[in-house]
Structure 1
Amino acid sequence: MAALKSHGSEREFSFVDQDEIWKVHVKIELESAKVWPNKWGFLTKSYKETQEASQKLKEAVKLELPPHLKTQPPTPPGKFIQVGPSPPVPQTSQALIGWRSAVPGLQLDCYGRVQCGKKSFLKEMGWAFDACS
């Protein structure tokens, strides 16, 4: 016997009982699989019919998009982004951390600094700051 803790209470169960419960579950699954075609098999036929009808419609209606609406192949990133070789890593251990930020061409804000908004929507509307929660 083993103890199973459940929500603060302890109850006993045996592995034999757990095995019997599992066998019952498997038996129910197998019986359900045998009965399913008689009860629900019509769904597979209607699904196949729907798929065939859909395929016939797709073949009958060949819609050709005008050239300006067709998707363009993706442009390779190498056309717009050029990555040069990195400068050599400094030999000192103190300069190793953050060495890339000291080189102007490798800084993260090469497109300009991020401008955070200094206005408040609530202030613009004249609402109290605790109006939104």
Structure 2
Amino acid sequence: MADAQRTSEPTNFVHQDEIWKAHVKAEKHLAKDWPNKWGFLEETYKEYEKESLKLKEEARTKLPHHLTARPPTPPEKHIHVSPSPSVPKTTQAFIGWRSAHSDLQLEKADTLHHGRRSFLKELGWPLHSCS
């Protein structure tokens, strides 16, 4: 491919055509010989497909009720956004103008609970047992 992009050397179209003919001839020869050498793979693949379809059907019928997909919950049920206050006149006041109003409730202000327990203490193991 890099040879075709060169502009300084002349292109030998006859030679490139002969190369192309050799490639096509090799492809035809290999396509003719493929079923004799690798044809057994077709039947193995067909058996695999049948078995995988059978397994998929079994999985669909045996799926428990609690694992089935539920319809999506509409976002309006959980997200409530009040109308915005008037837009500020300056660009400096524009930064964070919605979050400054506490009545808009843009962020959920829950307390974060970080774990203060030790897994090793819960198991009754010495603290230096895992390092």
TM (normalized to structure 2)?
0.48
- The normalised TM-score by structure 1 is 0.47
Q: Give the number of the structure whose residues are more often helix, by fraction.
A: 2
Higher strand share: 1
Higher relative contact order (CA 8 A, sep 6+): 2
